[in-house]
Amino acid sequence: MLAAERRLYERELVSQRDSAEEGFRQEQADGVLREQFVAILSHDLRNPVASITAATRMLAKEALSDRGKQVLGLMQGSALRMSSLIENILDFARARLGTGIGLSLQTEQSLQLLIDQVVQELRAVHPDHEILASYEPLQPLTCDPLKIGQLVSNLLGNALTHGDKTQPIRLDCKTRHGQLRLSVANGGKPIPDAVIPTLFDPFVRGQSEGYKDGLGLGLFIAKQISTVHGGTLDVSSGEDETMFTFTMPLNGPGGSVEYR
C-alpha cells in the first residue's frame, strides 16, 4: 500500500513539474511574440513620423503667423520626441530578441556636422534652454553615424529633461590620443547616490523628484550604443553639475582606447 501511494505521489510530482515547465515555455513564447510585435510596430511607425518631420520642415520655410509658428514648434518637438522614442524602443526590442543593436559602420569625416545637426534640432524645440556646444578639430571616426547621433540626442534629451533650465547645457567634443571623448553636462540637483548604480538599466527613471523620464530607455540605449562601438559611457554627479561622458576608439569597435 505504501509503495503504491509513493508511486502515485511521484507521478503527481512529475505531472506538476511538466505543467510548470510547459507554462514557463508558453510564457517565454508569449514574451518573444510581444517583443516581436513591438519591434515590428516601432519599425513601421518610423516612416509616417519621418513624413511628419519632413512636412514640418517644409512648413517652416513658409510665411506663418506667430500662432502658426508656435503650433509648428510644438509639432516639431512632438515629432522629434516620437522619433527618439521609436528608435529607443526598436533598439531595446532588438537587444531583448538577441540580435543586439546592429551597426552600419563607415568612416565619418564630418563628425562635427553630424553632432551639430542634433544640437540644432534640439535647440529649435527647446528655445528657452541654452545649449552650448564646443568642438576641437575632430579627426575622422569609424562609427555608425545614425547611432552616434541617437546617443547624443538621448544624452542631450536627458539633460534637457532633468537639468536646471536657468543654466546652460554644455556639450564638449574632442578627439585626442586615438579616441573620441564627448561629454554632456547640466546644472541642477545631483542624481541621488541610490539611483546611480541602476541609472543605465532599462525602465529605470529614478526615485526622486526631477529624475523621472518617459519609458526610462534613453540612457539604457545610449549605454548599449557606446558598448557596441567599443566605448564607455560614464556619469558623475555633484552639487555643481551632472556630466555624462562617452569615449570610444577612433578606429571603431575592436580598437583600443588610450585613456590620458
Both 114 and 240 in one domain: the answer is yes
| Single residue among 96, 125, 156 that ends a domain in this structure | 96
Both 134 and 185 in one domain: the answer is yes
Both 195 and 230 in one domain: the answer is yes
Both 139 and 11 in one domain: the answer is no
Specify if 259 maps to a domain.
no
Answer yes or no: are the C-beta atoms of 237 and 229 closer than 8 Å. Answer: no
Q: How much is the pTM? A: 0.72
| Single residue among 38, 62, 96 that ends a domain in this structure | 96
Specify if 260 maps to a domain.
no
Report which of residues 35 and 65 the model is more confident about.
Answer: 65
| Single residue among 67, 96, 125 that ends a domain in this structure | 96
Q: Domain range holding 201?
A: 106-249
Both 243 and 124 in one domain: the answer is yes
Both 9 and 114 in one domain: the answer is no
Both 145 and 164 in one domain: the answer is yes
Total number of domains in the chain: 2
The secondary structure of residue 197, as a DSSP letter, is: G
Both 110 and 199 in one domain: the answer is yes
Identify which of 128, 119, 130, 124 has the alpha carbon closest to the alpha carbon of residue 73: 124
Burial class (CB in 10 A: 0-12, 13-18, 19+), 111: buried
Instruction: Kindly report, residue by residue over 90-147, the tens digit of the pLDDT.
Output: 777 777 666 678 788 999 988 899 899 899 889 988 889 999 999 988 999 999 998 9
